[in-house]
Structure 1
Amino acid sequence: SRYMRPHDLYQAALQYMRRTTSQPVSRDKVRATSGNDLRVMTYNVHSCIGLDGKVDVERIARVIAQANPDIVALQELDLGRNRSLGMDQARLIARKLEMEFHFHPAMHLEEEQYGDAILTHLPLRLIKAGPLPGLADKPGLEPRGAILAEVTYQGQQVQVINTHLGLNSRERLAQIDSLLSEDWLGHPECRGPVIFCGDLNAPPNSAVCQRLGARLQDAQAALASHRPAGTFPSRFAAARIDHIFVSSQLAVTAVEIPSSDLVKRASDHLPLLVQLRLPQPETYSTDA
């Protein structure tokens, strides 16, 4: 063709240097958990653009690897965008972590895409990915979406939802109502243990979190020994807008918000990591 996309140039440079984008980042096996504990992370990666202005997918992968999660819900991922060198960020991060993934582009700008993903080293099955409602009177709002997937852990199926809600308060309410409906949390295949992750752009006392909290439990608030803490902005994380909510079958056994210098530089958000104890299969209920 008569032109080359930034992604083409990036791939050509990698080939010229005889490098690959699939070099794994080793995961540090430092945790000691019981056999039924599942580690889940939600993380807004800001298009892998750190506070130093550098696009660094490997740095994000290193942050995730150090926390050693089983399931990762990522928001603000780029695919083929000029600002991030045309990278397929979800795929690159998944390769470096040796995980499977599903990416959903909530926004399309010609060939450029932007959205969210679920990554895991466990068996993964996509149930649904799609858009969330906006506001008819504000057509210029950034499109938002969600992903619903099933993860199998030690023979047990767990449903995981990942989303990134809008900046307008009315928009967020419409979106959370959609997520609470039969389209998502009420979906016929969303049964048993449920983990709801995402950047909700809403604090715990907001109407969004209150409506979600009537159905699921806030993981940070559910652990008596943990004092809930913020994740944004990463340097001075005062706002608690990144959340993990879980169904009543899941017991929260640990909560962590990594905040090393590396983590604070990697994105404008800090990741939220929770450890969950799964029930025995015979104790499952169909209620969320």
Structure 2
Amino acid sequence: MTQGQPVEEEPAGIRLRVLSYNVHGQRDDTAALAAAVRGAEPDVVIVQEGPRRFRWRHKCAALADRLGLVVAGGGLPALGNLLLTSLRVRVHRTWYRQFPLTPGRHMRGAAFAECTVGRARFVLAGSHLSTDAAERPGQAALLKEDLAAVRLPLIVGADLNENSGGAAWRTIADGLTDTAVAADRSDRCTYPCANPRDRIDALFVSPQIVVTDYDVVDTEQTRRASDHFPVLVDLLLPVPLAHA
């Protein structure tokens, strides 16, 4: 659990900067990865392909430290999905989902964390769906069950391994705001860095969360750091009305 720091509220809500990033198992330039994330100054990083095997706790903590953040949850229980936060964010509880294993395929899952920043309470979720088109819709349906059970505002970052027309994408997006569409930037591709042609990395939020900015961070650093570009989104979180 992390201890939140004082947060200033604005009339429209509380600002939160979120980065969703498939880090390619840290198999690329890790110095560039650290510099890119630190330079973005996020409050939250939703990681796909984070540590999930031998000494995974140590590796998750080392990655968080390298990025200037702390571990909220994830790693092995979420099969490589990892949630990192700054000290602005207080983490209250975490839980996980592991999708059924298909023989010959990598196990996939999801990580969840209930958080607050100031008086704004929300749930973070991160997932990475299968590269197999036949397997993805079932995983998306299970993930959607978990998301639908949440009664707080949601922030969902995921590598869906398909573009926005796909069945799995439509399942996850149903009832949520696609932040790229909200910012009129759905033409920005996230994969692969060498020749960007697909938008398979997404960040969705509940309708009551306001999207104030969206970017696919395409820089010299991010091209060295992973085979995916990170998605960086600025949000305004709703806060409960003060009691009279």
The TM-score by the shorter chain falls in which range?
0.7 to 0.9
Q: 1:36 aligned to 2:3?
A: no
- The equivalent of 1:141 in structure 2 is 105
- The equivalent of 1:27 in structure 2 is none
- The equivalent of 2:66 in structure 1 is 96
Shift of 1:198: 1.1
- The equivalent of 1:217 in structure 2 is 177
Q: Secondary structure at the match of 2:50?
A: strand
* C-alpha spacing 1:133/1:262, structure 2 compared with 1 (3 Å): same
* C-alpha spacing 1:237/1:89, structure 2 compared with 1 (3 Å): farther
RCO higher in structure (CA 8 A, sep ≥6) = 2
- The equivalent of 1:120 in structure 2 is 85
2:114 aligned to which of 147, 150, 160: 150
Q: Percent identity?
A: 30
* TM-score, scaled to structure 1: 0.73
Shift of 1:116: 1.6
* C-alpha spacing 1:103/1:280, structure 2 compared with 1 (3 Å): closer
Aligned partners of 1:127 and 1:150 also within 8 Å: yes
Shift of 1:131: 0.4
Shift of 1:68: 0.8
Unaligned runs of 5+ in 1: 1-33, 108-113, 284-288
Counterpart code for 1:270:
F
Aligned partners of 1:100 and 1:119 also within 8 Å: yes
- Of the structure 1 ranges 92-101 and 199-208, higher mean CA displacement relative to structure 2 is found in 92-101
Q: Secondary structure at the match of 1:256?
A: strand
Counterpart code for 2:95:
K
Q: Secondary structure at the match of 1:265?
A: helix
Shift of 1:252: 0.8
In the TM superposition, 1:117-196 aligns within 5 A as 117-121=82-86, 122-135=89-102, 139-181=103-145, 184-187=146-149, 190-196=150-156
* TM-score, scaled to structure 2: 0.85
Q: Compare CA radii of gyration and give the structure with the larger one.
A: 1
Shift of 1:118: 0.2
Q: Distance in 2 between matches of 1:160 and 1:116?
A: 12
Q: Distance in 2 between matches of 1:149 and 1:131?
A: 15
* C-alpha spacing 1:146/1:87, structure 2 compared with 1 (3 Å): closer
When the two structures are aligned, how many residues end up with a matched partner? Answer: 228
Aligned partners of 1:75 and 1:116 also within 8 Å: yes
Aligned partners of 1:106 and 1:143 also within 8 Å: no
Unaligned runs of 5+ in 2: 1-11
Q: Secondary structure at the match of 2:81?
A: strand
Q: CA RMSD in A?
A: 2.4
- The equivalent of 1:15 in structure 2 is none
Aligned partners of 2:13 and 2:239 also within 8 Å: no
- The equivalent of 1:67 in structure 2 is 40
Counterpart code for 2:84:
L
* C-alpha spacing 1:280/1:106, structure 2 compared with 1 (3 Å): closer
Q: Distance in 1 between matches of 2:153 and 2:186?
A: 24
